[in-house]
Amino acid sequence: MKDGTMSMDVDVGLIWLETHQMIKFTSSIKWEKSQKIMSNKFRLSSGGQINRTERISFKFNGKTFYGFKGDTLASALLANGVHLIGRSFKYHRPRGIFSSGAEETNALVQVIKDKGKTDPNIRATQIEIFEGFNAESQNCWPTVNFDLGAINNLFSPIIPAGFYYKTFMWPANLWGGYEHFIRKAAGLGKSPTENDPDIYDHKYYHCDVLIVGSGPAGLSAAKVAVKTGKKILLVDERPSFGGNLAFADEELSKINDLKPSEWIEETCTELQNNKNIKILNRTSVAAYHNYNYLIMMQNLSDHLSEKEKKGKIRQRLWKVRAKKVILATGSIERPMVFDCNDRPGIMLSSAVRKYINYYGVKCGNNVVIFTSNDDAYETAISLHNKGVKIEAIVDIREQSSGDLPKKCNELGIKILWKNTIIYTEGYKKINNVHVMKLSNNNSCIIGNKFKINCDLLCVSGGYTPAVHLFTQSGGKLTFNEGKYYFQPKTTSPNQISVGSCNGTFGLKKIIEETQTKTNEFLNLNHNDQSNITESKSGNFENIWLLPSDKVSGKTKPFVDYQNDTTANDIKLALREGYKSIEHVKRYTTTGMATDQGKIGNMHALGIVSEITNTKMGELGTTTFRPPYTPLTFGAVVGRNVKQFFDIVRKTPIHEWHEKNGAKFEDVGQWKRAWYYPNKNETMYEAVQRESKAARNGAGILDASTLGKIDIQGSDASEFLNRVYTNAWSKLAIGKCRYGLMLNDDGMVYDDGVTTRLGDNHYIMTTTTGGAASVMSKLEDFLQTEWPELNVYLTSVTDHFATVSVCGSHSKKILEKVVKNINFSNQNFPHMSFKEGLVDKIKCRVMRISFTGELSYEINVQSNYGQVVWEKCMEAGKEFKITPYGTEAMHLLRAEKGFIIAGQETDGTITPVDLQMDWIISKKKYDFIGKRSLYRSDTMRENRKQLVGLLTNDPKEILEEGAQIVEEVKSKPPMDMIGHVTSSYYSPNLNKSIALAVVKNGKKLKGKKLFVPMSDKTIEVTVSDTVFLDKEGDRLNA
């Protein structure tokens, strides 16, 4: 009860604090603005690897600070004493900088650039500052110091895991109301609202050995790998090399009598002088796919000032195929899970070590260290030696046999063995910790509670191997029972893991093991003897969830900081019946934030394992998915933006269409002239005019996009017999024939006219959109099924431009343009072909028609396309020749009832359904899809069949896709018996016409049907599919 009261007091105090600040809000803003540039009062006077000669000023939340070249935003803010960076996602709890790298879970900021352009969710621990850098806190309003959303923290007992699922499920029709508020609360940063002005790049790269990570393992592996003389690539996500060794205490370990930083420098220099190796910094491997295919993002200019950035590529996406991969991705320190382990000023011990040793920044003045292992003692020694007071080291272990605790003892640092922290205080910055003794079996706490005042708490729960890339590549893990982490179990011939990502710890062991393994992996024998001195490490103990003096409902032991998931949420999920770790993850959202659980996932697994009494190895991990760290959309897209987004294919006559005001339509990748509006003409008006002209006078169409396949070989006729439904052997040379191609299932696949140019030579046309897949399909049959056929296919779509001239005057125009052909009906009848000359340009002329009108297609070598087009225009002037686009072409063919494959057909329509029985050869022994036409389903009488529809009101135009019913009911559902496939107002017939597929349509001619629309029902009558010139007189005119 007493504890309960205390916890309430804290919450009430918290709200008081926020409210109090509400009053002071206006004045505080003024106060913040009046502040001069802050001093680096937490920066040591010397030391670290920042460039102290280059001072940089930057802004955070509107306030100006300064740091040095080489600082991250995090190190620069810490140097200025700023810990509070943002608010947590759900409870809006104040959060500070927790780590020093890619694993950061709390310190996400919005980076502001010019003209409102902005990057959300940037990790303050990774982004490097530059002159003029500007960032703001996220997920808080109005400011990070005073955030109204913090009221959620008070309500936290009633918003547990799964709260949204439970609450907003009922009543369903209120969702619309909730949605607005939930969407508003969701997400952390703000998306940019303008186009990204930056340049991004893609690069393919092939190498013999890729080494990921440049810590002691990565560098040692590289030193061996360069001896192969092959192409080596070494990448690291950090700006500088050396991994965690780069911020090791300079006095505690030595390699060949060199300090760690000196050894790193010497090794890097040696490598950089070797021309076999390419070394990339600021390059993070996002994904590791099959067959050593890795996606990496290289940051090229995010660390540069606006001026330096100008004209430079921002990020480059590398697509690397490596023969062999060496993973040296290191390990990530984990926190401790206890009540209120999330306050600003609570940081990973290794991060604090990096800030003091690498950046020369002390994260606090009075430090408590909370640990389960010896590694944190190195942090203690580094801090102590640089004048920071260590108030105490709280260690959950009984004792340690290692060198470092002994050394701390000698330095007079207080160590509280077998103790645990049970609570912390300090709303926006930690100010004390509550400590109690652990019972023998670590299950509860005993003795008296006492407080230690501090302004910084370093936590260290041991290290977790970074196995993300290993598992992405398909590697399996095993749980190391003694060391409490998952490590690689399986091996593959073209990949190894070395160093701490493989579960190997200790500098000497890492370097020696890496050398041996790399030599073996690359079939070498180059063992350098290194003389390594390091401290002996003691045992490691692990408690996933530390015991508390409170009932669990009153505590907030955070597991996933960013998503505000506590150990209690995980317990709740288990109580509510979730057993699979993947389900627990989704229900509680643990590990689902932008850090993907790099910090807290192991604890979530550990807690589930303990409560369900399942061994960690059996429980397994959640799946590690790419990317390891978030990628920008810019990097993913690269240069494939705007006009480069997709391939655009233009016909050789495109320029003319453009000049003459054509509107274009996308057909596959092609730009096709859609219609050519005159001044002030609507699309409808233009199409009506074009259609009328094409029928009654002369029309001209660019048909260059139709697929063309040149077919040659002694078995060409037999091949066509097999792929088309009709017979080809008897087609005379110089004649054309329309063909329908089916799939094996008997459904219409593609159609087009094929012309016999010679005994063993045909040219096939396909639909514009189907050209590529028809070609592949024909190759498939020739190569896999009928290799005995002597047939050669060549795609010649782009080789020819096709100018189609139609209408009653077309013959006269052709006679003017192609002078050496006799165009008489007798010499050149419908469905035949002649070779001719347009001036000196060789051409193939086919008399074929898709409009039902007298029509000729002139095929010429592509680059003469526009010349021939212009000649036809010139010759047709006296006949008022009118260019028409695809829309008028569609209208004209609909008047004739000609189908478009893909519009009248949809993969469920047979030629019989199209009432095109005439095209199915009864004599041929077989063709693709023939057998399917005799299945019970395809022979069924009440299949959907192609019919014509006439609206009772001839002015009423049906909507394509509209459903057709036999019987209208007052409201749905009604039995739908088909749908409209094509619909136009025909200017030549002066009435609305439509094609449709309707159940049992063949038998419904003359029957009234209905097309119910949202505002009315349209009455229609089933008609023949051919609306105009049933006898074909116009074709043969």
Partner 1 sequence: MLEIKCPYCGKRSQNEFSYGGDAKIKRPELGKEISDKEWDNFVYYRDNPKGKHSELWHHISGCRQWFKVSRDTASHEIFKTAKLDEDL
CA dist 962 and 322 (Å) reads 54
**What length does the chain have?**
1037
Q: Which is nearer to partner 1, 62 or 474 (CB)?
A: 474
Between 124 and 928, whose beta carbon lies closer to partner 1?
Answer: 928
Burial class of 275 by CB neighbour count within 10 A (0 to 12, 13 to 18, 19+): exposed
Which tokens belong to 251? Answer: 């006095």
Going by the DSSP 8-state scheme, the letter that residue 262 receives in this structure is H
Q: How many residues bind partner 1, per CB under 8 A?
A: 23
CB-nearer residue toward partner 1: 134 or 726: 726
Distance of alpha carbon 349 from the chain centroid: 34
Query: For residues 595 and 706, what is the distance between their CA atoms, to the nearest angstrom?
Result: 51
Mask for 337-366, x = binds partner 1 (CB under 8 A): ------------------------------
Asked whether position 293 contacts partner 1 by CB under 8 A, the answer is yes
| 714 to 743: interface string for partner 1, x by CB under 8 A | --------x---------------------
Task: Choose one: 384-392, 802-810, 930-938, 1001-1009; the region binding partner 1 (CB under 8 A).
Answer: 930-938
Min CB(564)–partner 1 separation in Å: 37
Extract the runs of DSSP E, i.e. beta strands, from 826-883.
832-838, 841-847, 855-861, 882-883
Q: Which residue's CB is nearer to partner 1, number 785 or number 874?
A: 785
Q: Which of residues 270-289 bind partner 1 (CB under 8 A)?
A: 289
Shortest separation between residue 191's beta carbon and partner 1, angstroms: 29
Please report which helix (H) or strand (E) contains residue 1023, including its range.
strand 1017-1023
Which residue among 926, 953, 959, 975 contacts partner 1 (CB under 8 A)?
Answer: 926
Residues 901, 706: contact at Cβ < 8 Å?
A: no
Q: How far apart are CA 669 and CA 645, in angstroms?
A: 11
Residue 931 Cβ, how far from partner 1 at the closest point, in Å? Answer: 5
Give the pairing of strands 254-255 and 565-566.
unpaired
931 binds partner 1 (CB under 8 A): yes
| Stretch 297-326: interaction string toward partner 1, x if CB under 8 A | ------------------------x-----
Is 203 or 931 the residue whose CB approaches partner 1 more closely? 931
Where would I find the beta strands (DSSP E) of 51-198?
51-60, 63-69, 84-87, 94-96, 108-112, 118-123, 134-137
290 lines the binding site for partner 1 (CB under 8 A): yes
Q: In the complex, what is the shortest distance from the CB of residue 715 to partner 1, in angstroms, rounded to a whole number?
A: 13
Using a 10 angstrom Cβ sphere, with 0-12 exposed, 13-18 middle and 19 or more buried, the burial of residue 484 is buried
Compare residues 784 and 820 and give the one whose CB is closer to partner 1: 784
In whole angstroms, how close is the CB of 907 to partner 1 at the nearest point? Answer: 13
In angstroms, the CA 118 to CA 346 distance is 29
Least Å from the CB of residue 289 to partner 1: 5
Which residue among 925, 955, 1015, 1033 contacts partner 1 (CB under 8 A)? 925
> Omega before 627 cis (within 30°)?
yes
For residue 873, the surrounding DSSP H or E stretch is helix 865-876
C-beta of residue 904 within 8 angstroms of C-beta of residue 1025: no
Choose, by CB under 8 A, the member of 398, 610, 744, 975 that binds partner 1.
Answer: 744
Sign of the CA dihedral running 653, 654, 657, 658: negative
Contact 409, 415 (CB under 8 A): yes
Pairing of strands 63-69, 51-60: antiparallel
Residue labelled with tokens 């047979």 = 910
640 to 679: interface string for partner 1, x by CB under 8 A: ----------------------------------------
Residue among 742, 720, 780 nearest 932 (CA): 742
**Near partner 1 by CB under 8 A: residue from 240, 442, 932, 1000:** 932
Closer to partner 1 at the Cβ: 430 or 741? 741
CB of 718 to partner 1, least distance (A): 10
Nearer to partner 1 by C-beta: 347 or 723?
A: 723
Decide whether 184 or 923 has the Cβ nearer to partner 1. 923
To partner 1, the closest distance from the beta carbon of 783 in angstroms equals: 4
The nearest distance, CB 788 to partner 1, in angstroms, is 11
The distance of closest approach from Cβ of residue 937 to partner 1 in the complex, given in angstroms and rounded to an integer, is 9
Alpha helices in 80-215 (DSSP H): 151-154, 163-167, 175-185
Residue 665: strand, helix, or coil: strand
Q: Rounded to the nearest whole angstrom, what is the least distance from the CB of residue 926 to partner 1 in the complex?
A: 4
Closer Cβ to partner 1, 481 or 780, answer by number:
780
Site string for partner 1, 770-789 (x = CB under 8 A): ------x--xx--xxx-x--
For residues 454-493, which are near partner 1 according to CB under 8 A? 474
Neighbouring residues of 184: CB distance < 8 A, sequence distance ≥ 6? none
In this structure, are residues 726 and 753 in contact, taking their beta carbons and an 8 Å threshold? Answer: no
Least distance between partner 1 and beta carbon 290 (Å): 5
Stretch (H or E) spanning 776: helix 771-780
Distance of CA 264 to the CA centre of its chain: 36
Q: Pick between residue 303 and residue 722 the one whose CB is nearest to partner 1.
A: 722
CA distance 663 to 646: 19
Q: Judged by CB under 8 A, does residue 1032 bind partner 1? A: no
- At its nearest, how many Å lie between partner 1 and the CB of residue 936? 7
The neighbouring-strand residues paired with 758 are: 761
**Of 105-113, 373-381, 932-940, 983-991: span binding partner 1 (CB under 8 A):** 932-940
| Structure tokens given for 716 | 């060409």
In whole angstroms, the minimum distance from the beta carbon of 319 to partner 1 comes to 9
CB of 465 to partner 1, least distance (A): 23
- Residue 773 vs 915, nearer CB to partner 1: 773
- CB neighbours of residue 796 within 10 Å: 15
At 570 the three-state DSSP class reads helix
- Residue 861 dihedral angles phi and psi, to the nearest 5°: -50, 135
The dihedrals phi and psi of 173, each to the nearest 5 degrees, come to -75, -5
* φ, ψ dihedrals at 862, nearest 5°: -45, -50
Map the footprint of partner 1 across residues 864-893, applying CB under 8 A. Answer: none
Look at the block and give the residue holding tokens 């105009």.
Answer: 1028
Which C-beta is closer to partner 1: that of 481 or that of 926? 926
Q: Which is nearer to partner 1, 94 or 475 (CB)?
A: 475
Quote the least distance from Cβ 291 to partner 1, whole Å: 4
Q: Using the rule CB under 8 A, is 917 a contact of partner 1?
A: no
Question: Least Å distance between CB 785 and partner 1?
Answer: 5
Burial status of residue 12 (CB atoms within 10 A of its CB: 0-12, 13-18, 19 or more) = exposed
Binding positions for partner 1, rule: CB under 8 A: 289-293, 321, 474, 722, 744-745, 776, 779-780, 783-785, 787, 925-926, 931-932, 935-936
